[in-house]
A = this chain, B = another copy of it.
Amino acid sequence: MSETPDSVVRTYIENHRAAFLDDLVEWLRIPSVSAQPEHATDVRRSADWLAAKLKETGFPTAEVWETPGAPTVFAEWPSANADAPTVLVYGHHDVQPAALADGWDSEPFEPVIRGNRLHARGAADDKGQVFFHTLGVRAHLAATGRTTPAVHLKMLIEGEEESGSPHFRALVEEHAERLAADAVVVSDTGMWAEDTPTVCTGMRGLAECEIHLHGPDQDIHSGSFGGAVPNPATEIARLVAALHDEHARVAIPGFYDGIAELTDRERELLAELPFDEERWLRTARSTATHGEAGHTTLERVWARPTAEVNGIGGGYQGAGSKTIIPSSAMVKLSFRLVAGQDPEHIRKAVTAWAAERIPAGVRHEITFSGSTRPCLTPLDHPALRSLVRAMGRAFQQPVRHTREGGSGPAADLQEVLDAPVLFLGISVPSDGWHAPNEKVELDLLLKGVETSAYLWGELARGPGEAH
Q: Which residues of B contact A141 (CB under 8 A)?
A: none
Closest beta carbon of chain B to A126's beta carbon, Å? 13
Instruction: Give the residue name and chain of the B residue nearest to A230 (CB).
Output: B290
Q: Taking each of A215, A323, A429, which has the highest tally of chain B beta carbons within 10 Å of its own beta carbon? A: A323
Chain B residues with CB under 8 A of A163: 320-321
Do the beta carbons of A240 and B233 come within 8 Å of each other? yes
Residues of B within 8 A of A311 (CB): 233, 314-317, 322, 326
- Contact call B233/A97, Cβ cutoff below 8 A: no
- The one of B103, B215, B308, B315 in contact with A222, judged by C-beta atoms closer than 8 angstroms, is B308
Q: Does A271 contact B (CB under 8 A)?
A: no
Residues of chain B contacted by A292 (CB below 8 angstroms): 227
Chain B min CB distance to A128 (Å): 16
Taken together as a complex, chains A and B put the C-alpha atoms of A303 and B237 apart, in Å, by: 26
A227-B317 in contact given A290-B359, A290-B361, A360-B290 (Cβ < 8 Å):
no
The reply to whether A285 and B220 form a contact with Cβ atoms under 8 Å apart is yes
Chain B's closest residue to A404 (CB) is B223
Interface residues of A in 127-186 (CB under 8 A from B): 163-164
In angstroms, how far is the closest chain B Cβ from the Cβ of A444?
Answer: 16
> Considering the chains assembled together, what is the distance between the CA atoms of A311 and B321 in angstroms?
9
**Contact A216/B284 with A311-B326, A312-B312, A324-B310 known, Cβ cut-off 8 Å:** yes
Q: How far is the CA of A225 from the CA of B242 in the complex (A)?
A: 21
Interface flag for A52 (CB, 8 Å): no
Which of B287, B322, B334 is A323 in contact with, Cβ under 8 Å?
B334
Known A-B contacts A231-B308, A311-B326, A332-B316; the reply to A286 vs B224 at CB < 8 A is no
Contact with B along A187-209 (1 / 0, CB 8 A): 00010000000000000101010
> If A222-B308, A323-B334 touch, does A284 touch B228 (CB 8 Å cutoff)?
yes
Does A53 have its Cβ within 8 Å of any Cβ on chain B?
A: no
Q: Which of A106-114, A261-269, A384-392, A432-440 forms contacts with chain B?
A: A432-440
User: Known contacts A218-B436, A310-B325; can you find 4 more A-B pairs with CB under 8 A?
Assistant: A35-B322, A215-B286, A225-B284, A288-B362
The 4 lowest CB-CB distance pairs between A and B, nearest first, are: A288-B361, A223-B406, A241-B241, A237-B240
